C-alpha cells in the first residue's frame, strides 16, 4: 500500500488575528476537522482521490462558516452565484460549473459535468438545466441567508466596490473552499468551490472553476486548489504553473508551490494561497496572506489543522 494523504482549505481570507475569538477559532477548526476526517476516511477505506475531494468539499459547502455552498456571499443583486470545479489527475478528466444559484453542493454538480456529460465547463442557465436533469438538490434563497454575509453586502451594496476576501479588512466570514488528495493507488485529484466575492456583478467569474487557474490535477505532477484574488490567479494560471514548474524545471512540490505563491503571484500583486499534493502523498500549503484556513492528514499519521502562520 502506498502512502495516501489529503489537504483541505477554507480560504485565504481569514479574520485578522485581533478579530478572531477563541470560540470562533474553535468553530472553524471543528468544521475543518470534520471535512478532513470525511475525506481521509474515504482514502483509508481504499476509495479514490476524486471521491475523497468531493466528500471533503461537500462538507465545507454545508457549513455557513466558509464562502461556498451554504455560506456563499451576496452578489450585487442580493443573490448567490456559485462556482466549482473538480479534476481527476489519473485521467485528466475535469468538470466545472459557474454562475449557478440555489445548488446545495456545486462541487457535486461539477463532478456530474465531468462524469455524465461530454463537456468540461457549464455556466448559468444551462448549468441549472443540467442540474435539474441530474436531480441535484436545489435550495430556496433562505438556505443561503446569513446575517453576517448580508451585513457585509449592505456595507458596500450601493457602491462600485466589490469585496475580495483578501484585500480589505476581514470583519466577517470568508473563504473559498478546496481539497486535494492522493489515494492508495497514487492517483491524485483536486476540487474547489466558492461563492466568489461580495457585491460581484456582470457575471463575474473567478479562478475557482477555471481548470488550470484555481484548480488542476495531473498524476505526473500535482493536484492543486487555490484561494485568493481570483483575477490574479487567472492571469497567473496559478494551479497549472505549479504543475509546469514541476514538469519542466524538475522542482519539488514544495518548491514549486512556494515559488508560485511567494514570488510569481506577488509579482503581479495578487494575494492568496494554495494547497497541493503529489502522487507520493507529499503536501504543500503555502499562502502569502495573514492566514489560510487549512488542514491536512497523511497515512503516516501526521495531522495539521491551522489558521495563521
Measured from the CB atom, the residue of 11 and 95 that comes closer to ligand ASP is 11
CA 28 to chain CA centroid, Å, is 15
Residue showing cell 441567508: 145
Check if 176 is active-site: yes
Q: Which of 14, 75, 176, 227 is catalytic?
A: 176
Please name which of 308, 228, 235 lies closest in space to residue 67, comparing C-alpha atoms. 228
Only one of the segments 53-61, 106-114, 200-208, 285-293 lies at the binding site for ligand ASP (rule: CB under 6 A); that segment is 200-208
CB of 227 to ligand ASP, least distance (A): 4
Selected binder of ligand ASP within 71, 95, 206, 236 (CB under 6 A) = 206
Rounded CA-CA distance 24/217 in Å is: 32
Helices (H), 164-304: 230-235, 238-249, 253-259, 265-267
Instruction: Indicate whether 194 belongs to the interface with ligand ASP (CB under 6 A).
Output: yes
Measured from the CB atom, the residue of 104 and 200 that comes closer to ligand ASP is 200
Instruction: Indicate whether 176 belongs to the interface with ligand ASP (CB under 6 A).
Output: yes
CB of 257 to ligand ASP, least distance (A): 16
Give 14's contacts (C-beta < 8 A, 6+ positions apart).
20, 170, 174, 175, 289, 290, 291, 292, 293, 307, 308
Instruction: Indicate whether 81 belongs to the interface with ligand ASP (CB under 6 A).
Output: no
Rounded CA-CA distance 92/131 in Å is: 23
Instruction: Indicate whether 165 belongs to the interface with ligand ASP (CB under 6 A).
Output: yes
In the sheet that 303-308 helps form, which strands lie side by side, from edge to edge? 121-123, 93-100, 82-88, 188-194, 177-182, 5-9, 291-298, 303-308
Instruction: Indicate whether 271 belongs to the interface with ligand ASP (CB under 6 A).
Output: no
- Interaction residues for ligand ASP, span 40-69 (CB under 6 A): 67
Only one of the segments 155-163, 205-213, 249-257, 287-295 lies at the binding site for ligand ASP (rule: CB under 6 A); that segment is 205-213
Query: Which stretches of the chain bind ligand ASP, using CB under 6 A?
Result: 11, 13, 67, 165, 175-176, 194, 196-197, 206-208, 214, 227-228, 230, 233
Catalytic site positions: 176
Amino acid at each position: 500500500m502506498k502512502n495516501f494523504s489529503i489537504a483541505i482549505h477554507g480560504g485565504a481570507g481569514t479574520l485578522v488575528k485581533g478579530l478572531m475569538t477563541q470560540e470562533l477559532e474553535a468553530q472553524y477548526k471543528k468544521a475543518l476537522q470534520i471535512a478532513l476526517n470525511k475525506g481521509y476516511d474515504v482514502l483509508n477505506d481504499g476509495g479514490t482521490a476524486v471521491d475523497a475531494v468531493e466528500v471533503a468539499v461537500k462538507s465545507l459547502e454545508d457549513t455557513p462558516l466558509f464562502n461556498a455552498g451554504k455560506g456563499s456571499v451576496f452578489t450585487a443583486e442580493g443573490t448567490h452565484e456559485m462556482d466549482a470545479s473538480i479534476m481527476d489527475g489519473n485521467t485528466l478528466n475535469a468538470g466545472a460549473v459557474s454562475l449557478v444559484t440555489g445548488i446545495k453542493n456545486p462541487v457535486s454538480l461539477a463532478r456530474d459535468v465531468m462524469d455524465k456529460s461530454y463537456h468540461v465547463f457549464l455556466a448559468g442557465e444551462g448549468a441549472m438545466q443540467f442540474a435539474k436533469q441530474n436531480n441535484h438538490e436545489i435550495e430556496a434563497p433562505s438556505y443561503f441567508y446569513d446575517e453576517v454575509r448580508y451585513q457585509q453586502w449592505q456595507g458596500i451594496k450601493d457602491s462600485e466596490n466589490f469585496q475580495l476576501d483578501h484585500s480589505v479588512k476581514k470583519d466577517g466570514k470568508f473563504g473559498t473552499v478546496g481539497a486535494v488528495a492522493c489515494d492508495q493507488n497514487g492517483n491524485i485529484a483536486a476540487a474547489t468551490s466558492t461563492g466568489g466575492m461580495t457585491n460581484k456583478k456582470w457575471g463575474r467569474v473567478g479562478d475557482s472553476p477555471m481548470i488550470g487557474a484555481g484548480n488542476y490535477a495531473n498524476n505526473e505532477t500535482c493536484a492543486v486548489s487555490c484561494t485568493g484574488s481570483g483575477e490574479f490567479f487567472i492571469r497567473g494560471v496559478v494551479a497549472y504553473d505549479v504543475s509546469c514548474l514541476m514538469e519542466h524545471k524538475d522542482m519539488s512540490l514544495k518548491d514549486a508551490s512556494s515559488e508560485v505563491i511567494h514570488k510569481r503571484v506577488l509579482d503581479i500583486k495578487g494575494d492568496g494561497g494554495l494547497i497541493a499534493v503529489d502522487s507520493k502523498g507529499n503536501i504543500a500549503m503555502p499562502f502569502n496572506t495573514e492566514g489560510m484556513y487549512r488542514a491536512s492528514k497523511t497515512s503516516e499519521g501526521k495531522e495539521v489543522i491551522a489558521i495563521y502562520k
